[in-house]
Amino acid sequence: MKTSKKLDASSRVIISELGKNGRTKLTALAKKLSITPAAVKERVERLMEKNIVRVIGVLNVSELFPISSIIGIEADANTVNILIRKFRTCPLAFHLSKTTGVYNLVIGMVAEDMEHLENRINYHIRNEPGLKHVEVNIGHGAIVPEFRQLRLWQKEKTDTCICFGGRCDECPAYVDLGGSCRGCPDTLFYKDEE
């Protein structure tokens, strides 16, 4: 298990301010810390090099995907690894962690509505043979964090669904539901309802 990295007070202030607004000017941070902008730039670069901080754009996820879920999964080791491969790059998964206790895998996932969350769970999780138990806790919108990173639209759309590993039009969820499944947001098949 990795140990926690120690941060000094200045680094904590930088992280806190960038967490509030990733576009905070180095000069504003320098003034707040009573150091030079060059020193702030060096500290930010060091934090980035150590993979402690990354400055990115985040979404108000509740505006696009109002259903938020935490899915607890009890499964054999092989099935856990299959599910990790499936959801590691899923654009709608915001959390993926092996755990101890009742569940050995927890997935945090957002969805457009209940129907589409149920489809993803039934067709991409419950159909795995080594699955023992699934518990789904559903919320309506995130309270904290209000803004979150999702891996949406990070590459050119393809015809391959990440979770299914094939084309959406060959996926049981997409086919069995007569095309009412919206598909994966990162595929050409995705039907965004505006």
pLDDT tens track for 52-99:
998 887 888 888 889 999 999 999 999 999 999 989 988 889 999 999
pLDDT at 49 > cutoff 90: yes
Tally of CA atoms within 13 A in the half-sphere of 175 that contains its CB: 8
Number of domains making up the chain: 2
Question: How far apart, in whole angstroms, are the C-alpha atoms of residue 148 and residue 44?
Answer: 21
pLDDT for 47: 93
106 with 99: CB under 8 angstroms?
A: yes
In a domain, 103, yes or no: yes
Same structural domain, 83 and 148: yes
Domain holding 45, by residue range, is 9-49
pLDDT at 1 > cutoff 60: no
Same structural domain, 36 and 78: no
Question: What mean pLDDT is predicted for residues 107-136?
Answer: 92
37 with 44: CB under 8 angstroms?
A: no
Q: What is the CATH number of the domain that holds 86?
A: 3.30.70.920
Span 3-40, pLDDT tens digits: 566 889 999 999 999 988 889 999 999 999 999 999 99
pLDDT for 4: 60
Same structural domain, 45 and 86: no
In a domain, 105, yes or no: yes
Q: What is the CATH number of the domain that holds 39?
A: 1.10.10.10
